[in-house]
Amino acid sequence: MTIPLVIDTDTAQDDCVAILAGLLTPEADLRAITMVAGNVGFDRQVKNAFMTFNVADKQVPMYLGSRLPLVRPWASAENVHGDGAGGLDMDFTGYSPETEHAVDALLRLAEEAEGELNIVAIGPLTNIALAVRKRPEFASQVKHLVVMGGSNNARGNITAAAEFNFYVDPEAAKIVFDAGFRITVVPWAPLTLQQAVFGRDVLERIAAIDTPLARFFTSVCSATLAFDESVGIPGTTHPDSLSVAVLLRPELITRSAEYNVDIETGSELTRGYAAMSWGVHGLAPNATVIEEIDAAGFQKYLLDMLSLSTTPPREFRTAG
């Protein structure tokens, strides 16, 4: 039996790998991707997603969502990701997104799936929050929402307190955690930093695979590797592909717990901080937070995927 899902993405670096996982994992029935403002320029994100379809030689409908956070100006992560694809480009003639807005598509796809749709949200939560605002029952129509965001009583990345996705649109994140979804959280720290970083040894093994998918991976992860090493992270980070993996291969989760998750929207100092309360403060749980994974199993899952042979219809070129 396949797992119906939509990936809501700000496509750059590991978002590309996450989309590949949705396209190429046999258990996945990826019905669409929806684009949200986040990592890099919105139109660049769209190109990155089309290049991901190209390397997989597989496409699903792409719906464009919010180009801005709910109430704040956009904050970019271009200092981390560059263009999000390591300078790759291609001829985009003939590639175009659907005309329906992402929020309407999410609402429609949830209804059509009759309670079976899963969403993996790997960017700021603007589109998901707008869908809740448009139709509050949306939360109960979605089977499972996997959210990449926040840190579990640990450091942020864009500030000491906040992880990027929640920092960009904290109001949206708050709406989503209050909406009544069944949520699983893949946090930045400590989980991603401890268990989903690929060091140079792993990256060399990936380079040696030498398939179009492996070469694409190396390219899209290149800018982030340079940034990560400059801030003391020993490799590339994979929270977004991990978020897809835990939905499709839940056996990769080795420890999780129920938490109450709430998002800071009032303070500038701690904007987007996720307060993850682990059950001793008398707060009702609203999310399952993943605390530990089978890191070797996750690495094998991605390396096996990158070993698949695909025939990209368009040639990639490196932007000058």
Token pair 């390591």 in the structure block, residue: 86
C-beta closer to ligand BDR: residue 4 or 124: 124
Regarding 8 and contact with ligand BDR (CB under 6 A), the answer is no
Residue-wise burial string across 90-123, b where 16 or more C-beta atoms lie within 10 A, e elsewhere: beeeebebeeebbbebbbebbeebeeebbbbbbb
Which tokens belong to 132? 């809740």
Is 163 near ligand BDR (CB under 6 A)?
yes
- The burial class, CB within 10 Å (0-12 / 13-18 / 19+), for 259 is buried
DSSP 272: T
Secondary element (H or E) of residue 281: none
130 binds, among ligand BDR, Ca ion, none (CB under 5 to 8 A by kind): none
Phi-psi region of 272 (alpha: psi -120 to 50; beta: other; left: phi over 0): left
Residues 184-243 that bind ligand BDR (CB under 6 A): 188, 239-240
69 near Ca ion, judged by CB under 5 A: no
Work out the number of other CB atoms within 10 angstroms of the CB of residue 279. Answer: 12
Give me Rg for the CA atoms of the chain: 18
Quote the CA–CA distance of 248 and 179 in Å, as a whole number: 24
Residue 164 within binding range of ligand BDR, rule CB under 6 A = yes
Give the nearest distance from C-beta 93 to ligand BDR in angstroms: 28
Strands 28-35 and 3-9: parallel
CB of 261 to ligand BDR, least distance (A): 15
Residue 123 makes contact with Ca ion by CB under 5 A: yes
Minimum distance between the CB of residue 94 and Ca ion, rounded to whole angstroms? 26
**Per-position x/- string for 124-153, each x denoting binding to ligand BDR as judged by CB under 6 A, each - no binding:** ------------------------x-----
**Does 19 help bind ligand BDR (rule: CB under 6 A)?**
no
- Judged by CB under 6 A, the stretch of 98-106, 159-167, 193-201, 267-275 that binds ligand BDR is 159-167
How many residues sit in the footprint of Ca ion (CB under 5 A)? 5
Using CB under 5 A as the binding rule, whether residue 122 contacts Ca ion is answered as yes
SS3 45: helix
Closest separation in Å from C-beta 59 to ligand BDR: 21
Q: Does residue 6 belong to the site contacting ligand BDR (CB under 6 A)?
A: no
Name the site residues for ligand BDR (rule: CB under 6 A): 13-15, 39, 77, 80, 122, 148, 157, 163-165, 188, 239-240
